[in-house]
């Protein structure tokens, strides 16, 4: 069965890192909305042109444009054995459209990484990013001040101060709670404790995916 996975979680939950590890282990693409948006603009697709015009005006990309971009990306050959979505869907409208896009494929597994707000604020306040390659560093790597990926200089993101972090978390919860409610009654929905050590979260995430997949296979459910 192909793994079609959505990873939900607030800023600082570690969903990007976890999704990257699973994608490498499974040999399937991790698809982030930021990446596919830039790719569509670069390739000059019709949807990409629309998105570029919207961003040039300083406006947010609308649901219909993001849905169109994801539809294009999920139509490519490299997702036939599965995919991991990071950053999409962000709204119930996008989630409903995604259901239509993947209809007939193996079911989507949806995992929410749950982390208490005080821990998220702590993590984000000490998070550093590389000026050169954009990699994120935490803990000892962040304290060293040198990117573990390319050796570049690490700096704090301008939106990782406490006040901005709290506002970002508020926006996330306001927008995402309806999305969690949309998915949580499905047999393929799982939650994992993201406040544990990264390797423990990774193990729980794999167990959650296997549990969801086994339950669906037993029932013969498809999207």
Catalytic residue positions? 15, 90, 127, 157, 168
Distance CA 51, CA 45 (A): 10
Burial class (CB in 10 A: 0-12, 13-18, 19+), 91: middle
Q: Nearest to residue 89, comparing CAs of 3, 190, 186, 6?
A: 6
Residue 71 C-beta-side C-alpha neighbours within 13 Å: 19
Distance CA 126, CA 121 (A): 9
45: phi then psi, degrees, rounded to nearest 5: -70, 165
How many CB atoms are closer than 10 A to CB 146? 16
How many CB atoms are closer than 10 A to CB 181? 10
Residues recorded for the chain:
223
User: What does each C-alpha distance from 181 to 95, 108, 144, 198 come to in angstroms?
Assistant: 11, 15, 41, 26
């Amino acid at each position: 069965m192909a793994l079609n996975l959505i990873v939900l979680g607030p800023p600082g939950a570690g969903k990007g890192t976890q999704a990257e590890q699973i994608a490498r282990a499974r040999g399937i693409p991790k698809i982030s909305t930021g990446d596919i948006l830039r790719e569509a603009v670069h390739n000059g697709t019709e949807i990409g042109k629309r998105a570029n015009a919207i961003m040039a005006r300083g406006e947010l990309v609308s649901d219909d444009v993001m849905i169109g971009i994801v539809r294009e990306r999920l139509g490519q050959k490299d997702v036939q054995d599965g995919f991991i979505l990071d950053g999409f869907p962000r709204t119930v409208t996008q989630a409903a459209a995604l259901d239509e896009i993947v209809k007939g494929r193996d079911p989507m597994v949806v995992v929410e990484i749950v982390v208490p707000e005080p821990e998220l604020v702590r993590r984000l306040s000490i998070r550093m990013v590389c000026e050169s390659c954009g990699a994120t560093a935490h803990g000892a790597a962040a304290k060293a001040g040198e990117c573990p990926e390319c050796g570049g200089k690490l700096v704090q993101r301008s939106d990782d101060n406490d006040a901005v972090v709290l506002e970002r978390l508020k926006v996330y919860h306001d927008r995402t709670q309806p999305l969690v409610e949309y998915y949580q009654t499905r047999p393929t929905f799982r939650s994992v404790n993201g406040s544990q050590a990264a390797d423990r979260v990774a193990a729980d995430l794999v167990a959650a995916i296997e549990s969801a997949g086994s339950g669906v296979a037993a029932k013969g459910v498809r999207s």
